[in-house]
Structure 1
Amino acid sequence: MSISYRNMLAFIRVAESATFAEAAEKLHLTQPALSSAIKKMEEQLGGKLFSRSTRRVTLTPEGHTLLPTARRLVNEWDETYHDMQNLFAMQQGKLTIAAMPSFAESKLPALLNDYHRQFSNIRLRVLDVVMEATIENVLQGNAEIGFTFEPEVHDGLIFTPLFTDEFVAVMYPGHTLASEYMISWHELLRYPFIAMNRGSAVRRWTEHVAQDIGQLNIIAETGQLGSVGQFIAQGMGISVVPAICQSQMENRGLKCRAIKDNPLKKSVGMVRSQRTGLSVAAEEFWRLCERAYQ
């Protein structure tokens, strides 16, 4: 039979007092109730913890052995109780988020700033990784919430859309197409193309649209949309990227143009694990993001 927190605390207070009456007063108990609690604890442990006299109560050798452990256990429980209250009251805690770099750079900072203003004691961690790794981090429990394009397979995930992204064409300022207001896919296929790595969702979507028109002239591929922009800035070619990358590309001095009759539109949103619930901190952030895009 386990010893209750109440009885453990009673033992400590008696050990710190000269008499049962003094300890009972500290605990706001009657003396008979305190004596009963100590007696029950002694019965559970199998021996006396105190030597009693008419004037004083003192610890037995066994009681002396138990006292430091009892204090440690009670202190640990008090700290745990306090920490849990703080977690549920959002007074402390941490929140790990995974986000594809395009979202992490363009949309996430404002959302996190709003959240931090409300819950400044929550420590934030952002895993800035590609779409596929964002989904994997959520499935593996490394992040509670992920920001990504809608997964092609929803197994084990809950996806909530936030907005629709229409991909745009990107080129360096001196490119022939940079003077155009809007560009067709037929025009895009005439020029050297910088692509995402084979196997990535963006590469697969781009090739799927292009195959009905012609063939991409891929001269280089990379794993990050930021690197795509760097290659374009060197004048190596053009590309098609999500519109949420537009400010990132324009900050590099590149030109972004809308694509005529563009079928390449994808939903961007939040993912969470279907198998586990969100922490209080994550639940609040999830609701904040939903409100932001209502």
Structure 2
Amino acid sequence: MNVKQLRIFLAVAQTQSFAEAGHLVHMSQPAVSLSIKSLEDSLGGRLFTRTTRSTLLTAEGQQLLSMAKTLVASWDSVENELKQRFTLDRGKIALAAMPSFAASLLPKVLMNYRQKNPNISIEIHDVLTDTVVEMVRSGNIEMGISFEPENTQDLNFQALFNDRFIAVTHQNCSLKNEKELTWKQILECEFITLQKPSSVRNLIEMALAKEGMELHVAFDAHQLATVGKMVSQGLGVAVVPALCEAQMREQGAICLPISQPIISRHVGIITKAKIPLSIAAQEMIDTLIEAFRNNTI
């Protein structure tokens, strides 16, 4: 029994005529008769009683009628749902992004995506880089945006750009007029950073360790917004991804480039290897790539 047979069965039941049913389903009368016979054979009994003047449902046919209506309606609903998803007329995607990206570049990408796909709902998780990676790896979301993971064995990573870390100082800091800061200058100040296990803090500590330098932290916080606010109040100096520059300046801080050593990391799209993406998720990836290729964000 298949959905095509059920549609033909419903047409015959509605019209009480094989010929008229054929017109409804765009088939010849012999083809309709053959389909009904095949359905009856598969079920093991007659669904219609036929005379020269009428075609009526048997008791078993009456029982099938309501079930057939429900099954065909459900099939049509599923078919319509999938067609809408494939054409991006309906659907939902969930993505995770590290906070520095989510609060700076992501909104513009979402606007571009929304303009092209207004019927797709989007769920955003702004979480730490390690959490982004874990959510993709576990299959909880289809895609994430973060720094390149250390271990990409079961993941795909597509770089979007290279983010160089910058120093953030307050308006009255003695270093504010420098064109570029060294880590020696930065470490002579009270240092503000993110709490562990932040990937930003890990990158800083590993880069300094390679140079034989040790990081002494005066203040740490969970959110970059808090770090920026503490810097703007004169509590110390911070080092953050350049992604956060606009956010830091909005809070009244001064941003300066850093040398000796330069810390940078690729930012890109993370997906799970060998797992096909939904049409909606692939469209989001294409939107991201296009935005950075054309430098429109």
- TM, length-normalised to structure 2: 0.92
Q: 1:151 matched to which residue of 2? A: 149
Counterpart for residue 249 of structure 1: 248
Q: Does 1:6 align with 2:9?
A: no
Q: How do residues 1-294 of structure 1 correspond to structure 2 at under 5 angstroms? A: 3-211=1-209, 212=211, 214-294=213-293
CA RMSD of aligned residues (A): 1.7
- Superposed displacement of residue 213, structure 1: 5.0
Contact 2:128 2:199 in 1 (8 A): no
What amino acid is aligned across from residue 226 of structure 1 in structure 2? A
Alignment check: 8 A CA contact 2:164 2:241 kept: yes
- SS of 1:218's partner is coil
Deviates more, 1:238-247 or 1:117-126: 117-126
1:38-63 Cα shifts (integer Å, max 9, x gaps): 12211211222122222222212221
Q: 8 Å contact 1:50–1:58 — kept in the other structure?
A: yes
Tell me, what secondary structure is at the counterpart of 2:175?
helix
Q: Distance in 1 between matches of 2:134 and 2:235?
A: 32
Distance 2:20 2:206 in 1: 82
Q: Read off the aligned partner of 2:224 and give its amino acid letter.
A: L
Determine if contact 1:186/1:213 at 8 Å carries over to the other structure.
no
2:169–2:236 contact (8 Å) kept in structure 1: yes
Taking the aligned partners of 2:99 and 2:198, their CA distance within structure 1 comes to 14
Structure 1 position 131, deviation (Å): 0.7
Whole-Å Cα distance in 1 between the matches of residues 292 and 19 of structure 2? 63
Distance 1:41 1:18 in 2: 17
Aligned-residue offset at 1:10: 1.0
Q: Do the aligned partners of 2:49 and 2:56 also contact (CA within 8 Å) in 1?
A: yes
Give unmatched runs, 5+ long, in structure 1.
none
Summarize deviations over 1:235-278 as a string: whole Å, max 9, x none.
Answer: 33221100100111111111111113442111111111103111
The alpha carbon displacement at 1:103 in A equals 0.6
Shift of 1:203: 1.3
Residue 289 of structure 2: SS of its match in structure 1?
A: helix
SS at match of 2:202: helix
Give the ranges of 4+ consecutive aligned residues of structure 1 lying more than 4 Å apart after TM superposition.
none
Taking the aligned partners of 1:214 and 1:45, their CA distance within structure 2 comes to 80
Count of equivalent residues: 292
**Match of 2:208, as an amino acid?**
A
- Any idea what the Cα deviations from partners look like across 1:63-111, whole Å, max 9, x if unmatched? 1111111111111112222222222222222222211111111111111
Q: Which amino acid aligns with 1:274?
A: A
User: 1:72 and 1:85 mapped to 2: Cα distance?
Assistant: 20
Return the letter of the residue paired with 1:270: I
Contact 1:19 1:55 in 2 (8 A): no
Deviations 1:13-51 (A, max 9, x none): 111113222222222222222122112211211222122
Structure 2 Cα separation of the partners of residues 278 and 70 of structure 1:
34
Write the distance in 1 (CA, Å) between the matches of 2:15 and 2:99.
62
User: Offset of 1:188 from its aligned partner?
Assistant: 0.9
- Compare 169-178 and 185-194 and name the one that shifted more: 169-178
Q: Which amino acid letter does the alignment assign opposite residue 290 of structure 1?
A: I
Q: CA deviation at 1:291?
A: 2.6
Question: Deviation of residue 216 (structure 1)?
Answer: 2.2
How far apart in 1 are the matches of 2:212 and 2:249?
Answer: 28
Read off the aligned partner of 2:228 and give its amino acid letter. Answer: G
Q: Which moved more, 1:195-204 or 1:272-281?
A: 195-204
